[in-house]
Chains A and B, each alone.
Chain A
Amino acid sequence: MDNAYIPFPSKVLEVIKHTETEYTFRLEFSGDVKPGQFFEVSIPKYGEAPISVSGIGENFVDLTIRRVGVVTNEVFEKYVGDTLLLRGPYGNGFDVDLYNQGETVVIAGGTGVSPVRGVIDALSKSDDPQNKYAIVGFRSPDHMLFRDDLKVWDEKLNLTVTVDGADEGYQGKIGLVTKYIPDLPIKDVNTAKAVVVGPPAMMKFSVMGLLDKGFKEENIWVSQERRMCCGLGKCGHCRIGEKYVCIDGPVFNYTESKGLID
């Protein structure tokens, strides 16, 4: 019988530093994986943590990890060439093909950008990038992730990058992501699709903004962040109502997620 709890070693190919606390680990992996899915990553001494896939390549996956404890830069950097232990991928992930058709808006905040990075990437390469929108928010300019991607996306699709707050002299947009929802030049709100990922409050108000604008509930998807301890539907930590985020989600259609109350 298969033992799904045993992790496999994966070589760290590259470590990309985004901010003081957020790094992307490029790890050796070949196999099927979708944006929005996650891996259980063993971090020595810290145990396992569920980390969203932020990038997918032929022989690698990117995992963007936020430093949560007192872990020094040295600890992160010494992993290059080293191995991490992985299990996964787990969860349903995003159905990218679905969002490629027609008008789509992706709204993401903070580390919530990780799981939708692959989605935005696909939208930017779609046949009609003029119909694709992304509103990406960070706490401050210092908290910005995937700067190189932001530049590329900005050239291809309609990208809004905003920060909650910034020092005087900051040239970019300031304000919460919700501020930019009413102005989205959506042609047909009856068919336009939306993907929302981020902290709970940000998701709640973004969905409210979309509904106010006339988006249909069934055309909105959210991804829930919970403490997925096992990823297999056993440990119970990620349960909300009758759903287990790790196996039924983390991506839920809004018609499903609106009845899930923590």
Chain B
Amino acid sequence: MGFVMNQEEFSKTIENLSKNYRLYAPVIKKGEGRCLDEDIVRYDFVTKAEEIELELKSDYSFKEILLPLSETLFFFTENETKVADKNTSDVLVFLRSCDLHGLRRLDDMYLRNGKEKDFFYSRIREHVQFVLIGCPHSYKDCFCVDMGANKIDEGYVFTIEPKGDGFASEIKDDDFTKYFVGQSEHVKVSYVTENETKVNVPNNVPLSIYKSDFWREYDARCIACGRCTIVCPTCTCFTMQDTFYDPNGKVGERRRVNASCMIDGYTNVAGGGEYRKPHGQRMRFKVLHKIKDYKARFGYNMCVGCGRCDMVCPEYISFSTLINKLDDQIKKEAE
């Protein structure tokens, strides 16, 4: 079951959806890229079909909709706290297969790791549904196929992708049929079956690789800016932060802000203790989490192969290349 729509019909469909949902989708931000005159694609609130970017790959992931860069948890006066309000109207997020796989990782951490569900994540998550953007072709730096994130069969209400001069949607949840304007047709969502970038994820990572000189290269190359973790759809770390409105420190708010294991201060403990000072060691910590440690805990790899970290790195460090080099190194050491 599905629909084929021309531009006008697609606009009407989005208009209909907008009446009941807040829509978040990739949007081209003109001139907001890293260099002068460069554009960037990132997530934003949309109300019109023309705003939605379905062709280009987004530079940032959808995750900030669920995990804002900075989120006020509660306000406090001396002995009282008041939980910050949240807009809890229903939301639809447009994302690709890799990101929908990434969502499962966010859910793992915030809903399943530890005894309790995360209050602040849950209260947003309950109101968010997803629209799968089809991928008729792979993009530069993508390696979703090798990470098993190129295809997904559940977790979305309908699909959308450009087709010819118009658009095509496969309906997963029949409740959404009513919003559609267009030709009813059998539609199957496209997905990538081969990427140009290939990765060999090592099956066994020996403890010796932790101490290996392999990571030394990144002591110099990596500048620990943390961009790779900020764009990553599976990185979830945060830090608690207090802000006070008065100099006496009696009235203020507690926030949580995105944090990164690549950035200075992440591991600082009282009294000046710090772990993983060399940037190469931070790289090792991050990389092995993505392709080993996470799997040991949850049963599948953390990395979904979206390749955004490759696109954003100012030092041109490629995660996929690193994985392949690591695999070679492990094989070499085993000989």
* A interface residue numbers (CB < 8 A to B): 1-7, 9, 42, 44-49, 66, 68, 83, 85, 111, 199-200, 225-227, 229-230, 232-237, 239, 241-242, 244, 246-247, 259, 261-262
Contacts and interface: CB of A to CB of B under 8 A. Distances in A.
Contact of B114 (A1, A2, A226, A244): A244
A236 B119 contact: no
A47 B285 contact: no
A261 B289 CA distance: 12
Contacts, number: 122
Interface residues of B, number: 55
B236 interface: yes
Contacts of B241: 47
B227 interface: no
B316 interface: no
A45 B244 contact: yes
B116 interface: yes
Looking at chain A's contact residues, the main secondary structure is: loop
Given A45-B249, A229-B238, A242 B297 contact: yes
Given A85-B76, A230-B240, 16 more contacts: A1-B122, A5-B73, A5-B74, A44-B242, A44-B249, A44-B250, A44-B252, A45-B244, A45-B249, A46-B242, A227-B267, A235-B256, A244-B114, A259-B207, A262-B276, A262-B281
Nearest to B117: A1
A235 B237 contact: yes
Interface of B: 73-74, 76, 78-79, 81, 83, 109-110, 113-123, 207, 210-211, 236-242, 244, 249-250, 252, 254, 256, 259, 261, 266-271, 273, 275-276, 281, 285, 288-289, 293-294, 296-297
Contacts of B281: 262
B207 A199 contact: no
A237 B276 CA distance: 12
A236 B296 CA distance: 16
A237 B73 CA distance: 18
B267 A232 contact: no
29 contacts: A2-B119, A4-B116, A4-B119, A6-B83, A7-B81, A44-B242, A44-B249, A47-B254, A48-B254, A66-B270, A66-B271, A68-B271, A85-B76, A227-B268, A230-B240, A232-B114, A232-B115, A234-B109, A234-B110, A234-B114, A236-B109, A237-B259, A239-B293, A241-B288, A247-B113, A247-B114, A259-B207, A261-B207, A262-B285
